[in-house]
Structure 1
């Protein structure tokens, strides 16, 4: 079933521009500005729809910036369920310094969310019915650490496969509660989760298998940047190498990976193929400037390149 719902508790308006050189105390004339709806789940939905699937976005939205976010989602023709909040939706900025090729990202913490507001989100999700429910991104202030564990319980009650991509205490609470279909921490997030340096691939694989075996997740994908990704399941550990590309922006690479991997699983592809497809989407995302995420033609080309190399 190529239908998903995504949850974005701390969405953002993603603004991107470029300057020749960053200089303090100077007014710097920026190049063309782009604005896109962002935040983990929203980015996942954008890519999933590009791949031919259907997605409904559940997200919090508040203040004047929330109105702007709603409008951007409509421009992208994304089906949406808005949970209104009193606080202002955050605005994140990515600035490319053309002289050095370095990108700088400025990401605010986001609004304070009341118990009534996050409870309304749970109430809305309790009416959802789709193949996959993907919760991606950080939790805003005021939302309890075990919030995603509560969402997972709702998903399981309604027969939806729950996918989790977050970090810190929210990731730990989700893994401790168990029942997650797919979790996707980065290597840094995973090291924090297990409290170990994990110096080599074997150590990462062993730690990932331990999470799977205790029921934290059915599938655990650990992304490792240009080193590729590792997937642990009851069948064992699979490692797929990265794809060498010239990076233009890192915005949305992890979200692109997750959207493509879930899309492949929903299409019935084997987990290793889905992992490879996700890696191709993550590599495709860094090819595009600013907040543009990945392009389908690039994903397919890089996927075929990766498959031919094995």
Structure 2
């Protein structure tokens, strides 16, 4: 069964500044120039923090989703979140919420993903977002900042937010990429609680290959020592995940499951780890829950995310070892 922990769950706030209305469909073959007749689309609310909240709910956990929404697309996305029973705090975005499209080629199984840009943000919009997140941050809880920054939001956004959350006694988990990831990894006066990245991003920051688990763990620990975060998580794809921090260096195996779609797997990993920490699980057990959620999501089509029965079964098969 999915572990519940021994006490009350700490509150979780997820933050999505650049959400998307996710449309997923399939075609017999994806080729250029021709009109492609597609299957009826599946429509889901998307974006890093939203997916984390959706996966937390699949595991019987509770979270509140703070989401920047704008225009008719934003209204539709908000309605989908409410239909899913997710508590939502709405932040007005400065423009229309974006859409994304994934199309699966039924002949090859290949998946093509098209992601549109979000609306342009101005400095006053950034200030309002910082105020809203800091005001909603639960004392003693966890704030998950996940996903890309919209155009105009500075790469240093997480660094700007971290000291304000620390003053409220809230822990910040960050899962981002590109310049925003580099800004956090550079270290700061107020390190985030958890920083997550994948192996390609880690190698880009390190400036060298990280072929072994020990190489990845060494780099993760170097980021901790530099003050970027108290713990660093690095995904190694099919070779599982590494964490380094105050509780040591650990590796969790990725489960061998049939891969239907990897969309949302990383967000599900963050959801499992966050919920494990919020429920007071040990670090190895939180890692085990994270790996189970990610692998369960890989077993589902498009943007469907993980099923509770699959998570429970895979969690019982977890393999977590110290490095």
Match of 2:132 among 113, 120, 124: 124
- Distance in 2, Cα, partners of 1:128 & 1:179: 20
- Distance in 1, Cα, partners of 2:137 & 2:117: 31
Partner of 1:153: 163
- Distance in 2, Cα, partners of 1:173 & 1:23: 39
Partner of 2:181: 171
- Listed one character per residue, the Cα deviations across residues 33-92 of structure 1 (whole Å, up to 9, x for unaligned) are 111111000100111122222211112111221122111111112111111123221111
Is 1:25 the counterpart of 2:37? The answer is no
CA contact under 8 A between 1:162 and 1:181: conserved in structure 2?
yes
Matches within 5 A, 1:1-310: 1-130=9-138, 131-175=141-185, 176-177=187-188, 178-307=190-319
Structure 1 consecutive aligned stretches of length 4 or more whose deviation exceeds 6 Å: none
- Distance in 2, Cα, partners of 1:84 & 1:235: 39
1:174, CA displacement in angstroms?
Answer: 2.0
| TM-score normalised according to structure 1 size | 0.95
- Distance in 2, Cα, partners of 1:76 & 1:114: 31
Task: Give the number of aligned pairs.
Answer: 310
- Listed one character per residue, the Cα deviations across residues 109-144 of structure 1 (whole Å, up to 9, x for unaligned) are 222112121211111112124210000001111011
For structure 1, the residue ranges without an aligned partner over 5 or more in a row are: none
Find the residue that maps to 1:77 and give its secondary structure: coil
1:155, CA displacement in angstroms?
Answer: 1.4
| TM-score normalised according to structure 2 size | 0.92
CA contact under 8 A between 1:256 and 1:278: conserved in structure 2?
yes
1:308, CA displacement in angstroms?
Answer: 10
1:307, CA displacement in angstroms?
Answer: 4.4
Give the CA RMSD over aligned residues. 1.7
1:196, CA displacement in angstroms?
Answer: 2.3
Structure 2 CA distance for partners of 1:232 and 1:240, relative to 1, 3 Å: same
Structure 2 CA distance for partners of 1:64 and 1:269, relative to 1, 3 Å: same
* Deviates most, 61-70 or 203-212: 61-70
CA contact under 8 A between 2:145 and 2:174: conserved in structure 1?
yes
- Distance in 2, Cα, partners of 1:57 & 1:235: 29
- Distance in 2, Cα, partners of 1:306 & 1:55: 25
- Distance in 1, Cα, partners of 2:119 & 2:208: 32
- Distance in 2, Cα, partners of 1:2 & 1:34: 33
